[in-house]
Amino acid sequence: MASKLLRAVILGPPGSGKGTVCQRIAQSFGLQHLSSGHFLRENIKANTEVGDMAKQYIEKGLLVPDHVITRLMMSELENRRGQHWLLDGFPRTFVQAEALDRICELDLVITLNIPFETLKDRLSRRWIHPPSGRVYNLDFNPPHVHGIDDITGEPLVQQEDDKPEAVAARLRQYKDVAKPVIELYKSRGVLHQFSGTETNKIWPYVYMLFSNKITPIQSKEAY
């Protein structure tokens, strides 16, 4: 097994199960799961300079621009130079991928290809706990009490952009933006695509792929 640090990225549209797959990879292989959404929330909560910049866009319902996300992620990666990591939600665009190139070379990029109808159904059944970012799905991980967060007892909400009419627009937008990023990594031979409608069926293949690069710390039978 290589002793060099593993640098991996997961790509996938909203509702593709990225979060679940990331959690499993992190637990099975001891990788740090670095989520751009999580860092954004943390920085906004802490009123950092980059958090305040991001907040201005989010409050207007706009996407956080490349230069803000890139600055945020570069400083997070700088702090994790000695760790194996898995990036989730970054790079989202070609410009972000170029910025990442300047500081490291990726070993693995996985992309989840999930049918449009499946994504639409999943997202419309997704409810979140806004303060923590915890996500529930009424089909496969419903809250213990309908509409209530398991941990805090606070109410769950359905985000505007998880409502069916908004989902189609989000998926189209993801496809347009992700295409050049996917092509870039494909041309380098580091891209691995996984297709299906169930995370549990995709997982063994993802596990096998990572096992070839890094020694597992937990067997996949844990799932």
Confirm whether residue 120 is marked as ligand binding: no
Counting Cα atoms < 13 Å in the Cβ hemisphere of 4 gives 8
Tell me: is residue 126 an annotated ligand-binding position. Answer: yes
Find out whether 92 is annotated in a ligand binding site: yes
Q: Is 89 known as a binding-site position? A: yes
191 carries a ligand binding annotation: no
19 annotated to bind ligand: yes
Q: Do 199 and 119 meet the contact criterion of CB atoms below 8 Å apart? A: no
- Is 96 annotated among the ligand-binding residues? yes
Residues forming a β-bridge with 192: 110
How do strand 126-129 and strand 134-137 relate by DSSP bridges? Answer: antiparallel
* 170 marked among binding-site residues: yes
Q: How many Cβ atoms are within 10 Å of 146's Cβ, its own excluded?
A: 10
Cβ atoms of residues 92 and 69 within 8 Å: yes
Q: Is 72 annotated for ligand binding?
A: no
- Return the structure tokens found at 124: 């419309």
62 is in an annotated binding site: yes
Known binding residue 50? Answer is: no
The annotation status of 15 as a binding-site residue, yes or no, is yes
* DSSP character at residue 150: T
Q: Is 102 annotated as a binding residue?
A: no
What amino acid occupies position 2? A
Question: Please, what sign has the CA dihedral across residues 214, 207, 217, 140?
Answer: positive
Amino acid occupying residue 188: R
What is the enclosing helix (H) or strand (E) of 134? Answer: strand 134-137
| Beta-bridge mates of residue 155 | 148
Instruction: Establish whether 109 is an annotated binding residue.
Output: no
Residue 159 annotated as binding? no
End-to-end C-alpha distance for the chain, whole angstroms:
24
Q: Binding-site residues, please?
A: 15-20, 36, 41, 62-64, 89-92, 96, 126, 135-136, 170, 199
Q: Binding-site residues for a ribonucleoside 5'-triphosphate, please?
A: 15-20, 126, 135-136, 199
Q: Binding-site residues for AMP, please?
A: 36, 41, 62-64, 89-92, 96, 170
